Amino acid sequence: MSFGPTRLQPLHRDILNQYPDQIASFERGDLEWSSNEFTELKKSLRLSLRAQQEGRCIYCRRKITVERRNATEDIEHFLDKSKGKYKKWAFTAVNLALSCHPCNMQKSTRDMGDAGVSGAVELTEACGEYSWIHPYFDDYFENIEIMDAWLYIIKKDAPKPERARKLIQDCLLDQIKTIEADKVAIMHRIGRLHNLAARCVLKNPERAKKILDYTGNFVKNGWKYV
């Protein structure tokens, strides 16, 4: 199974280059990230990043469900644009990726760079130290292995083991195995109920209806997400 690219390439740089005036206004403080002036830029950026990332979150590498109003995904600034020292990187290609909403919430406004990064003139692999595996500068799968049932481990001889450890720890990737196991168990239970109802349809339709009603309530009362 493919979990997406080992590292990203800034293929969306051409998209950013199409909006020099809006980006300059943002850097001067005349426009906010939420401005409608960036609507088309963000749409194009999302499409490009989704394709590059094969529809997967850049951090946990699970598939992101495409929802209305992009409710399940976020355009991710690896170096948080809300921090003054990183605002200059808000529209830098190698600072942009897509993450699922849970990973984005876990990352929040964590500081992902050291003084060398914040003081750099150009954002590069060598300008300083990063806290997590960097989407463009590090090879994800040289550092992290995703085992069966979504178990994340640091690869033996990983070149950036501390970055890998921090990503797994801070993003709570070690909890995904339990979450996914619970979902599989729930799906298995629903499947068994449906099979039981099917067997009852001809001989005992009333019982079949009760089983289907129970299954419907089971899903309705909290398990729709599976």
Residues 194 and 161 grouped into a single domain: no
Domain count, the chain: 2
Q: Are residues 124 and 192 in the same domain?
A: no
| Regions in the chain scoring below 50 on pLDDT | 181-182, 222-226
Q: Is residue 1 one of the residues assigned to a domain? A: no
Whether residues 91 and 183 share a domain: the answer is no
| Predicted local distance difference test score (pLDDT) of residue 150 | 85
Residue 44: the pLDDT is 96
pLDDT, mean over the chain: 87
In this predicted structure, what is the pLDDT of residue 200? Answer: 82
pLDDT one-digit tens code per residue, 126-165: 999 999 999 999 999 999 999 887 889 999 999 999 999 9
Please report whether residue 6 resides in a domain: no
Q: What is the pLDDT of residue 220?
A: 56
Q: Are residues 119 and 92 in the same domain?
A: yes
Structural domain of residue 113, as residue ranges? Answer: 13-174
SS3 per residue for the chain: CCCCCCCCCCCCHHHHCCCHHHHHHHHHCCCCCCCHHHHHHHHHHHHHHHHHCCCECCCCCCECCCCHHHCCEEEEECCCCCCHHHHHHCCCHHHEEEEEHHHHHHHCCCCCECHHHHCCCCCCCCCCCECCCCCCCCCHHHHEEEECCCEEEECCCCCCHHHHHHHHHHCCHHHHHHHHHHHHHHHHHHHHHHHHHHHHCCCCHHHHHHHHHHHHHHHHCCCCCC
Residue 223 has what pLDDT? 39
Could you tell me if 143 and 202 lie in one domain? no
**Do 98 and 157 fall into the same domain?**
yes
212 shares a domain with 143 = no
